[in-house]
Amino acid sequence: MFKGRHFDRTVILLCTRWYLAYNLSLRNLVKMMAERGVSVDHATIHRWVIRYSPELLKRFNSRKRGVASK
């Protein structure tokens, strides 16, 4: 899934997760990554979100447990 990418997969997953889960702006994510020593552009993060969010959603939904009614 992340083969041939310039950044480590943990950085990609972290940025994508924070953007989707916490409603952070792309510019805020750039600042947060800079604090951790990772230089990344906001457009790059946006491309990651567009590219990986459908695939991540499929993987998360496939691992969800069914809801039992009692």
Count Cβ atoms within 10 A of the Cβ of residue 42 and give its class: 0-12 exposed, 13-18 middle, 19 or more buried: middle
Distance CA 35, CA 68 (A): 43
Predicted TM-score (pTM) of this structure? 0.79
Q: Render pLDDT for 6-25 as a digit per residue (tens, 0 to 9).
A: 888 899 999 999 998 898 99
Question: For residue 52, what are the CA distances in angstroms to 19, 58, 70?
Answer: 12, 10, 36
pLDDT of residue 14: 92
pLDDT at res. 51 = 93
